[in-house]
Amino acid sequence: MPIYEYKCEFCNRKFQLLQKVDEEPPNKCPNCGMEGGVKKLISQTMFELKGSGWYATDYKNTSPQVTESKNTSVNKGSEKSQTKEEKSA
């Protein structure tokens, strides 16, 4: 369940509620008790990727060995296709 942040327009107090996505937002401020002044705020998320195995290690490999192995595999593939063409001819 997500945590939503609200602010009361009467007392300017901010508060958070753990709610289901389909739940109705609160209408009454838990601090001052006034109804009708509670507004939902758009807050920054706390999502962060940490550890090995993400972008830095999986997708950002710029070593020359990787480039050479890609060129080698392409050359091997073209040799195989030439061999197949020679056999079929």
At 38 the pLDDT is 94
- Find the mean pLDDT for residues 8-16: 93
pTM of the model: 0.49
What span, in angstroms and rounded, lies between the C-alpha atoms of 40 and 83? 67
Phi/psi at 84 (5° precision): -65, -40
- pLDDT tens for 48-85 read 777 666 555 555 556 655 555 555 555 555 555 555 55
More confident residue, 87 or 28: 28
Determine the Cα–Cα distance for residues 72 and 85; give it in Å rounded to an integer: 20
Confidence bin at 14 (pLDDT 50/70/90): very high
Query: What are the φ and ψ backbone dihedral angles of 67, each rounded to 5 degrees?
Result: -65, -40
C-alpha separations of 45 from 5, 48, 49, 61 in Å: 11, 9, 12, 29
* β-bridge pairing 38-40 and 14-18: unpaired
